[in-house]
């Protein structure tokens, strides 16, 4: 059995580009005892991959990708084609961590990506398989856990969600709105802003590229911010610190503005002290205990139509590097996926 897999050819010096990768065919063995062969059907494209396209990934994070080898530790879903593990029969839909390739041999008992990507059978009746790479999977968990760690679920007040038209941000906006917050959202194109306002249903939205962030925030949230969900870092985190109310709480989910360039602040961190703020960094994968609760709540909202999600789909394993470059540059909306 052959598997076509994406490998890193050279580490990107700045913006990631398709020519930094190559697709290589490798021969897979038969699955051994306790293993399955999976034909991957969808694979995930995440900003976190860019953090691993370096000689060393940030301390504590998933490992850097070695040049010229398979890229292990990427969310994916697929169908079991051969099995030597009783709990994973042929034909079952599963998620696992060997994405960015067409086929993979997966050990049933392997702990993958802090446990969030262990081989798991999915309920394909509940939602399309790729939803488990979006709202019903790690993206949903990251969104839900972020609001949980700052006690924003079922709270009252105003939250700003940055990178709001993306995979995680668009879910955060909706969970926050459905559980009681006033939601203001930012994204990088007018089309995304219109989608946030008209379809996602936020209370106000603005294009972060158009005006200084402080001006936009003053307009959409004159009452100040009680919560901030940060997917961007840098200038966005700085602007949030400026707009927070006393005692406000910030979920530090990611800093995408820094992944391909020099970190730029925030320069006003003393405001965390003067305003009694709580800044809480977290990983979705550290909150596996919330997975079932999240799937029940978000699954319910999906079923009754209160939760929406969008996908930017690229076709074929060869398109994965293009998809990553497009997502980093803001050319995708919702969850970025490769259909294999
Ligand atoms: N803590 C965790 O466990 C965890 C898990 C998953 C993701 N994350 C983090 O959450 C954030 C969002 O991830 P995602 O998967 O949902 O990706 P995403 O939002 O679907 O895609 C990334 C988006 O970031 C925006 N962006 C890129 N550069 C920017 C800049 N300089 N300033 C402002 N916005 C910029 C772009 O949207 P615009 O066009 O709107 O600018 C782009 O579409 C990332 O920081 C990611 O690392 C953390």
What value does the mean pLDDT of the chain take? 97
pLDDT in tens, 261-318: 888 889 999 999 999 999 999 999 999 999 999 999 999 999 999 999 999 999 999 9
146: preceding bond cis by omega (within 30 degrees):
no
148, part of any domain: yes
For residue 82, pLDDT beyond 90: yes
pLDDT in tens, 174-193: 999 999 999 999 999 999 99
Expressed in angstroms, the distance from the first to the final Cα of the chain is: 16
Q: 285, 301, 321: which is the final residue of a domain?
A: 285
Q: 285, 300, 319: which is the final residue of a domain?
A: 285
Residue nearest to atom 8 of ligand 1 (CA): 254
117 lies in the same domain as 168: no
7 lies in the same domain as 81: yes
Residue ranges lining ligand 1, Cβ < 6 Å: 46-48, 142, 163, 165-169, 187-189, 192, 208, 231-232, 253-257, 282-284, 327, 330, 332, 336
Q: What is the CATH number of the domain that holds 211?
A: 3.40.50.720
For 55, 154, 157, 199, the CA distances from 308, given in Å and listed in that order, are 38, 19, 23, 8
Bridge partners, 107 (sequence order): 35
175 lies in the same domain as 242: yes
Residue nearest to atom 46 of ligand 1 (CA): 254
Give Cα 147 to chain centroid, integer Å: 14
148 lies in the same domain as 236: yes
pLDDT in tens, 130-174: 999 999 999 999 999 999 999 999 999 999 999 999 999 999 999
66 lies in the same domain as 153: no
Q: 3-state DSSP call for residue 22?
A: strand
Residue nearest to atom 9 of ligand 1 (CA): 254
Task: Report the number of distinct structural domains present in the chain.
Answer: 2
297, part of any domain: no
What secondary structure letter does DSSP report for 242? Answer: H
Beta-strand ranges (E) seen in the chain are 2-8, 21-27, 35-44, 76-83, 93-96, 103-107, 120-121, 158-161, 182-187, 204-207, 225-230, 244-252, 278-281, 311-315, 335-339
156 lies in the same domain as 276: yes
Bridge partners, 338 (sequence order): 43, 314
| pTM (predicted TM-score) | 0.98
46 lies in the same domain as 12: yes
Q: What is the CATH number of the domain that holds 318?
A: 3.90.180.10
281, part of any domain: yes
pLDDT in tens, 200-219: 999 999 999 999 999 999 99
pLDDT band at 322 (very low <50, low <70, confident <90, very high): very high
For 38, 74, 239, 332, 334, the CA distances from 45, given in Å and listed in that order, are 19, 8, 28, 11, 11
Q: In which domain, by residue range, is 153 found?
A: 138-285
62 lies in the same domain as 159: no
145 lies in the same domain as 125: no
103 lies in the same domain as 86: yes
Q: State which of 52, 190, 192, 256 you would mutate to test the pocket of ligand 1, scoring each by most atoms of that ligand within 8 A of its C-beta.
A: 256
299, part of any domain: no
302, part of any domain: no
230 lies in the same domain as 247: yes
SS3 of 264-313: the string is CCCCCCHHHHHCCCEEEECCHHHHHHHHHHHHHHHHHHHHCCCCCCCEEE
Structure confidence at residue 112 (pLDDT): 96
151 lies in the same domain as 125: no
pLDDT band at 254 (very low <50, low <70, confident <90, very high): very high
300, part of any domain: no
Residue nearest to atom 42 of ligand 1 (CA): 330
């Amino acid at each position: 059995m052959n598997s076509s897999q994406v490998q890193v050819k050279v580490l990107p010096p700045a913006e990631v580009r398709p020519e930094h990768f190559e697709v290589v065919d490798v021969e897979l063995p038969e699955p051994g005892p306790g293993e399955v062969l999976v034909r991957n059907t969808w694979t995930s494209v995440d900003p976190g991959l860019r953090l691993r396209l370096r000689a060393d990934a940030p301390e504590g994070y998933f490992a850097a990708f070695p040049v010229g080898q398979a890229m292990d530790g990427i969310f994916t879903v697929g169908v079991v084609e051969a099995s030597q593990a009783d709990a994973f029969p042929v034909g079952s839909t599963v998620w696992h961590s060997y994405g960015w390739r067409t086929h993979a041999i997966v050990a049933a008992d392997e702990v993958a990506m802090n446990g969030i990507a262990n081989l798991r059978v999915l309920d394909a009746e509940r939602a399309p398989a790729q939803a488990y790479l979006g709202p019903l999977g790690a993206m949903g968990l990251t969104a839900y856990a972020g609001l949980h760690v700052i006690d924003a679920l079922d709270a009252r007040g105003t939250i700003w969600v940055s990178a709001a038209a993306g995979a995680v941000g668009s879910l955060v906006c909706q969970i926050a709105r459905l559980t009681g917050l006033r939601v203001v959202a930012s994204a990088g194109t007018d089309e995304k802003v219109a989608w946030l306002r008209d379809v996602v249903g936020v209370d106000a939205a603005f294009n972060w590229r158009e005006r200084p962030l402080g001006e936009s925030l003053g307009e959409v949230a004159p009452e100040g911010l009680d919560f901030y969900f940060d997917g961007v870092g840098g200038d966005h985190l700085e602007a949030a610190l400026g707009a927070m109310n006393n005692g406000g709480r910030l979920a530090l989910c990611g800093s995408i503005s820094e992944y391909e360039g020099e970190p730029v602040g925030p320069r006003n961190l003393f405001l965390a002290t003067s305003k009694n703020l709580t800044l809480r960094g977290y990983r979705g994968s550290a909150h596996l205990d919330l997975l079932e609760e999240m799937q029940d709540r978000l699954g319910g909202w999906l079923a009754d139509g209160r939760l929406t999600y969008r996908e930017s789909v690229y076709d074929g394993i060869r398109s994965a590097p293009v998809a990553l470059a497009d997502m980093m540059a803001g050319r995708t909306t919702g969850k970025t996926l490769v259909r294999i």
